[in-house]
Amino acid sequence: MTSRVRHKAAATNGSDFKHREKVAPQYQMSASLKSEVRRLNIVHLLVWLLVAAQVVVSHLNLVPHETVSMPYQWEYPYLLSVVPLLCSSLSLPRNNISYLVLSMISGGLFSVAPLIYGGMEMFPVAQQLYRHGKAYRFIFGFSAVTVMYLVMVVAVQVHAWQLYYMKKLLDSWFNATQEKKKK
């Protein structure tokens, strides 16, 4: 039979477990980088929802085109930026390097490339607005080109930080994998 009284080793006072409470630096870095990537994924999702809302509202004629104008051409391929968002979200729980690499590559193709194209596509319209003060597309009374450039500024920053943190996270995971193989 087992005793209900718990026996403690005679030589310990409970302080010999301090070494077990320490977390290796690569795991601390991984946890903090994952947190940053998750935050940026949330902001990316919000930007994506704004662009998707404009596309859906304008195509389904939910409001008049004077209120929400037709989307620019770059907004359609930008809707595919949900793919790197999903890959990134799938890579985080199990430290999946493949999904993280796929997220970084598709982030360049589906997130950054449409934004670059959009900057070039809207530049003549922005120039016309700046020089002549004439806007032909509006989103809730504001110039559509101004609103979309503000969205693009936020999106570029979010995607740049995402790529930066994902690269650091990839390096952290790769180094941890290499250390395991050496042992």
- List, in order, residues 6 or more apart from 118 with CB less than 8 Å away: 72, 73, 74, 75, 78, 148, 152
Angle at which helices 25-59 and 144-182 pack, to 10 degrees? 150
Q: Across the strands, what pairs with 143?
A: 138
Domain boundaries, the chain: 33-176
Count the neighbouring beta carbons within 10 Å of the beta carbon of residue 15: 6
Walking along the chain (183 residues) 10 residues at a time, the average pLDDT comes out as: 60 58 66 94 97 94 89 96 96 93 96 96 93 89 93 97 95 76 69
Count the neighbouring beta carbons within 10 Å of the beta carbon of residue 56: 13
- Which pLDDT value is given to residue 65? 85
Full-model pTM? 0.80
